[in-house]
Amino acid sequence: MSTYFSLLKMRFLNSLQYRAAALAGIATQFGFGFMFISQYLAFYRVNPLAFPMGIDQVVSYIWVQQAFLTLYMTWFFEGDIFSAIVSGQVAYDLARPMDLYGKWFCQCVATRLARAILRCFPVLILGLLLPKPYALTLPSDGLQFLLFVISSILTLGVVVAFSMFIYISTFYTLSPTGVRIISSVFADFMAGSIVPLPFFPDGFRQIAELLPFAAMQNMPLRIYSGNISGMEALYGIGFQLIWLVILVTGGKLWMKKALKRVVVQGG
Amino acid sequence: MRLYIKYISIHLKSQMQYKASFFLMIVGQLLLSFTVLLGLYFMMDRFKTVGGFTLEQVLLCFAVVLMAFSLAECFARGFDLFPEMISNGEFDRVLVRPRGIIFQVLATKVEFSRLGRLIQAAIVFTYAIPASGVIWTWDKILTLVLMVVCGALIFFGLFLVYAGFTFFTIEGLEFMNVLTDGGREFGTYPYSIYGDGILKFLTYVIPLALFQYYPLLYLLGKKKDIFYMLTPLLGLLFLIPCYLIFLFGLSRYKSTGS
């Protein structure tokens, strides 16, 4: 366990070095958040009754989404892992007395966590200071906030477990771009990053809510905004937990299989 | 010009060497903006109109912006990769060659896989052009062409500004994404829906609305004044400050020495 912890710490400190990039990121996220909210406000003016969630819930959804973007995004991958597989460097990692799945998992978690911690507060504070209707509202009570934190942590696990599948597929394809773009874009959409799940048309929404992607940002964001609360939130967290276990177990099994037939390319 | 065509054909040949990967990239690019289209459809299906525009009219707008952006990105990719060019010192080589700098940067890269988006824009056009209810007289056709061409040039201007800033920061400026990628992403809807403040900003500061919102009004017959048809040309004035920013950055250029 302590190995994983020091790995986590190392990665974390490494990512904290890029402060200028974080500043630029914050400005970008703030700009995008502002524009997205303006967009929903325009729809709200057309027909408030067709809104499946409260407008202040949508606003909170967007601010928290922008603040924790680096935690939730499915399209972010560790370049080192791909190059380790393609260049054959992975052979060294395999020689180490450490589970490769765990190592990569930790690495992904740490990078995302470090980036999110650097970036989230300015966006959240700015969001809280803005006047209505752009204002970010706080969760209704402490319990709701606690549920949001738990759900966020689970989301991080699910997203990383999902990306592990794409890393492992690189053992077979060696050229990750195609699969990577298509699967991550699809996952991102189904997780509610472009349009929140309640806005999906009936029928389509019910299917989307069963898929593992609904266990990603969809859950914590809707819990934070109060769209899901009480027992429903607990069910949601259970749903995330189930998918996390399935994805991690599946990923580990597949990795074992892939490593059996791994051919290290020269070098 | 002949030299540029030669460059283009070289890039095309080199990218066609990996045919499977090339087509996969095109498909990937196509899917990338497909989810945006799907999101747009979900929203318009639920609300029917936004800011006084119907689904078909919004799609017309979506296709114009997407096509303009992908044209700019396909040909001006060199400027997008400019930070790399500066940090690995390749730019020094550009400076000693007896050709224009902008020309050479343009010629370093032509990314044909970006045409995936162009294909999607074309598909949306084939649906939206007849369905939008516009009677396509010559002036309307001309307006549409102006929108796409001037739009591409204005996006090109933004890439130029991005490259200009790179002279100071060496790294790429992530914030510029709000204007380029954001301009594309939010340009799926007419810029007027974001409120007066943003529309004014996009008219007078970064004139994205000049090739999108105003000519769209003319296209849909909401405004009869010929001035609205010609606003994309007015937007081209934006290229002057873009060029100046690039030149200013160039005058401050210090080689990174690697």
Could you read off the pLDDT of A116-141 as tens digits, one per residue? 888 888 899 999 999 988 999 988 88
Looking at the DSSP bridge assignments, the partners of residue B53 are B50
Decide: B140 and B134 in contact? Cβ < 8 Å. yes
Record: contact B182-A46, CB cut-off 8 A: no
Please give the Cα distance from A217 to A220 (Å, whole number).
6
- Please answer yes or no on whether A32 and B178 come within 8 Å at the CB atom: yes
Q: Are the Cβ atoms of B35 and A20 closer than 8 angstroms? A: no
**The pLDDT value given to residue A266:** 54
Distances (CA, A) of B66 to A160, B50, B181: 31, 19, 10
Can you give the pLDDT at residue A21? 72
**Residue B256 lies inside a defined structural domain of this protein:** no
Place of tokens 């990719």: B77
* Residue to substitute from B174, B180, B199, B206, interface A, most A β-carbons within 10 A: B174
The pair of structure tokens assigned to A48 is 């408030």
What residues of A are in the B interface, CB distance below 8 Å?
20-21, 24-25, 27-28, 31-32, 35, 38-39, 41-43, 46-47, 50, 175, 177-178, 181-182, 185-186, 188-189, 194-195, 199-201
Q: Do B38 and A39 touch (CB under 8 A)?
A: no
Contact B185, B36 (CB under 8 A): yes
Q: Which residue type sits at B54?
A: T
- Within a domain: B3: no
Query: Half-sphere exposure (CA, 13 Å, Cβ side) for B34?
Result: 19
Task: With respect to residue B10, please indicate whether it lies within any of the assigned structural domains.
Answer: no
Higher pLDDT, A108 or B113: A108
Least CB–CB distance from B193: residue in A39, A194, A201: A39
Indicate whether B143 belongs to any domain: yes
- Residue B35: its chain A contacts at CB < 8 A? 185-186, 188-189, 194
Q: Is B50 helix (H, G, I), strand (E, B) or coil?
A: strand
Torsion, Cα of B29, B33, B38, B44 (10° steps): -160
Query: Does some domain include residue A17?
Result: yes
A167 vs A107: CA distance, rounded Å: 13
Asked, for residue B5, whether it belongs to a domain, the answer is no
SS3 B49: strand
Count of domains observed in chain B: 1
With respect to residue A265, please indicate whether it lies within any of the assigned structural domains.
Answer: no
- Say if A66 falls within a structural domain: yes
Joined tokens for residue B86: 């500066």
What is the reported pTM? 0.88
Question: B50 vs A189: CB contact, 8 Å cut-off?
Answer: no
Q: Which domain holds residue B34?
A: 19-251
pLDDT band at A65 (very low <50, low <70, confident <90, very high): very high
The boundaries of the domain holding residue A122 are 2-260
Q: Which two tokens mark A33?
A: 């958040």
Nearest by CB to residue B42, choosing from A24, A46, A200, is A200
pLDDT at A98: 79
Q: Which of the residues in chain B have pLDDT under 50?
A: none
User: What is the C-alpha separation between B165 and B91, in angstroms, rounded?
Assistant: 15
Helix (H) or strand (E) holding A88: none
Does residue A51 lie within any of the structural domains? yes
Give the orientation angle of helix B138-169 with respect to helix B239-251, to 10 degrees: 20
Mean pLDDT of all residues in A143-170 = 93
Nearest chain B residue (CA) to A75: B32
Number of domain units in chain A: 1
